[in-house]
Structure 1
Amino acid sequence: MINKRVALVTGASSGIGEAIAHKLVAAGYSVYGTSRRGGQAGQQGFPLLVLDVTDDASVEAAIQELLTLEGRIDLLVNNAGFGIAPAAAEESSVEQAKALFDTNFLGIVRTTRAVVPHMRRQGVGRIINIGSILGVVPVPYAALYSASKHAVEGYSQALDHELRTHGIRVTVVEPGYTKTQFESNNLQPDAKLDVYQDVRIKVTKVVNQAMATADGPDVVAEVVLQAARAARPKLRYTAGKAAGQLQFLRSFAPARLLDSGIRKALQLETKWPSQAH
């Protein structure tokens, strides 16, 4: 009897992470989720380990616990992350920017560094990082979030080249708007400026309208399963109709058309600064 493949999904207590974990369980994986507080056995339908992706010791302890239980790890899904409510880039302090990157990017670095040595010894493994279409097509009033996900893109592409010769593949899944509690858990910018108040309200309204018709987390989970099962996985997979459309426009539309389309979608005025003489 062949042992089940072992998967670890970070940020699996709700939303996209929980949907991914359930999808992998249904596909026959032995799945462990993580959250900062862990969870009661059986509550989620899969075990929840305590893991804080911003804490080196917490990451190492959770990976060691999993290896003690299962002896191996075949799939790591880096999903843990958070966002900042629509706001101008200068409305977040440097400390808030650091906190965002500490979870969204360095959290992936920590878990990957903890898992890769074990996958290398196995000679096989797969890492799937949950990025965002905003990491490929950045939009205004989400500059720091876009930047954190852009970092995930660059890191993942380089890492895939490095690990391929060891039997490990790295993939990024890029969702668009996804209907979860993610948006309601966004941090508020900690350095709000009156000059941005009107546009902040307008952009927030547009985002809320988009969320009302957004894809559910199962759409992302299905793409993750596809990437996990692929014999020759692609580096990037979009998840959902909106993400696919944006990726298509980025690839084939003139840059000016994409630029104007983004501004139109967010109902932003197009103003060009007058030239100084």
Structure 2
Amino acid sequence: MNSKIALVTGASSGIGQATAARLAQAGWKVIGTSRRAAQGATPGGELLALDVTSDASVAAAVEAVVQREGRIDLLVNNAGVGVAAAGAEESSIAQAQAVFDTNFFGAVRMTRAVLPQMRAQGGGRIVHIGSVLGFLPMPYGALYAASKHAIEGYSESLDHELRNWGIRSVVIEPAYTRTPFDANLLEADAKLDAYHAVRTALVRRIHDIMAGAEGPEVVAETVLKAASAARPKLRYTAGGLAARLRLLRTFAPASMLDAGMRKDLQLV
């Protein structure tokens, strides 16, 4: 396992940092990336500067890793952003594009950059950090949910295309995870007074929920499982709540699930 090379985006904190650390503990050589970090270190290993919204930055970082290590066995597409609880119409088109540029097109850039090497070496694995919002959208989170839905479709199509080269693509679906992610949330850039009351109440409710949420180590453990499985599944829920939501989405009547979500978020 010491020869296995993992590249993890968004590894300076939260899920990315926990994933880098868990992979390193399991014997992988981990190179993490962060948009704002200069070259340095993370608890999981080395940390490189990389902006997933830049074609040039992605290409340069991946090329540097391949030249030095000779291979990339695992890509974890973790880097992501979200918009603080807000109505869908409270974000401009430019802001919607910015969310997709990181959450979706960032993963596409990274995937396209590593695939030539993975095909040449005859194998590899791509793990996308998705969300339960990729199969169960929540109100006042439309852009983030839409970007995670896009990841679900992209990954499944990709997995079918790449199996002949021994490459697999999977999605990890966490629910609420206690991380500094909220520190990086974008504020809606076109706020409307009509949404002020519900937006304020929802922010308080989500803060309360996050206080009791599972830590990023739960997601990191699931990433390791997906990365190591001889026959990986297309999707892995991460944590107890995510597993329950997947079951409800699959088997519960839509009206029951709808009412339960609104009650949990205290929406009238």
Measured against the shorter chain, the TM-score band is over 0.9
Whether the 8 Å CA contact 2:12–2:42 is kept in 1: the answer is: no
1:3: Cα distance to partner? 5.2
Aligned residue type for 1:164? R
Q: What is the aligned residue count?
A: 268
Q: Relative to structure 1, is the Cα distance of residues 129 and 42 closer, same or farther in structure 2, using a 3 angstrom cutoff?
A: closer
1:39: Cα distance to partner? 3.8
Q: Relative to structure 1, is the Cα distance of residues 42 and 262 closer, same or farther in structure 2, using a 3 angstrom cutoff?
A: closer
Q: C-alpha deviations, 1:171-209, integer Å up to 9, x for none?
A: 000111110100122111000000011110111111111
Q: C-alpha deviations, 1:249-277, integer Å up to 9, x for none?
A: 001101111111111111112xxxxxxxx
Paired position in structure 2 for 1:224: 223
1:51: Cα distance to partner? 0.8
Q: C-alpha deviations, 1:12-32, integer Å up to 9, x for none?
A: 011100000000000000100
Paired position in structure 2 for 1:51: 50
**2:84 is the counterpart of 1:85:** yes
- For residues 170-189 of structure 1, the aligned pairs below 5 Å read 170-189=169-188
**Root mean square deviation of aligned Cα:** 1.1
Whether the 8 Å CA contact 2:20–2:43 is kept in 1: the answer is: no
Paired position in structure 1 for 2:93: 94
Q: Relative to structure 1, is the Cα distance of residues 126 and 253 closer, same or farther in structure 2, using a 3 angstrom cutoff?
A: same
Aligned residue type for 1:247? R
How far, CA to CA, are the matches of 2:233 and 2:41 in structure 1?
Answer: 34
SS at match of 1:31: strand
How far, CA to CA, are the matches of 1:20 and 1:150 in structure 2?
Answer: 22
Paired position in structure 2 for 1:18: 17
How far, CA to CA, are the matches of 2:117 and 2:225 in structure 1?
Answer: 23
Bigger radius of gyration? 1
How far, CA to CA, are the matches of 2:12 and 2:90 in structure 1?
Answer: 30
Aligned residue type for 1:117? P
1:11: Cα distance to partner? 0.4
1:154: Cα distance to partner? 0.4
Paired position in structure 1 for 2:206: 207
Whether the 8 Å CA contact 2:30–2:44 is kept in 1: the answer is: no
Whether the 8 Å CA contact 2:19–2:223 is kept in 1: the answer is: yes
Aligned residue type for 2:47? L
SS at match of 2:172: strand
Whether the 8 Å CA contact 1:156–1:172 is kept in 2: the answer is: yes
1:149: Cα distance to partner? 0.4
1:4: Cα distance to partner? 1.5
Paired position in structure 1 for 2:33: 34
Q: Relative to structure 1, is the Cα distance of residues 42 and 260 closer, same or farther in structure 2, using a 3 angstrom cutoff?
A: closer
How far, CA to CA, are the matches of 1:242 and 1:42 in structure 2?
Answer: 32
Whether the 8 Å CA contact 2:39–2:49 is kept in 1: the answer is: no
Paired position in structure 2 for 1:248: 247
How far, CA to CA, are the matches of 2:156 and 2:111 in structure 1?
Answer: 14
Q: Relative to structure 1, is the Cα distance of residues 4 and 192 closer, same or farther in structure 2, using a 3 angstrom cutoff?
A: same
Structure 2, gaps ≥5 residues long: none
1:38: Cα distance to partner? 3.4
How far, CA to CA, are the matches of 2:144 and 2:41 in structure 1?
Answer: 33
